[in-house]
Amino acid sequence: MAIAFALVYRVMRDAPPPAVAEIVSVPAGAQIVSASVNDGSINVTYQIDGVTTLSLFDQSTGALKRSVVIATE
């Protein structure tokens, strides 16, 4: 068991880190609320003109995958 653990650890340790896009684009004038990298996506929450939007970008290319407007009730 210890040998298997050591082999898996070594493979994971030597694996290159996942690629992360250097730039993602949000609308001009947007105020960034938060940004994080999670499960292959870069998640950016921003506000513009009183509207809050969550945009999901591809982690490796930075291409926009989806945007969701967050509304308050």
The pLDDT of residue 73 is above 70: yes
Ranges 15-19, 33-37, 53-57: which has the least confidence:
15-19
Our CA dihedral for 23, 24, 25, 31, rounded to 10 degrees, sits at -100
This prediction's pTM: 0.72
Question: Distance between alpha carbon 20 and the CA centroid of its chain, in Å?
Answer: 8
pLDDT band at 19 (very low <50, low <70, confident <90, very high): confident
How far is CA 70 from each of CA 15, 33, 48, 53, rounded to the nearest angstrom? 37, 12, 12, 6
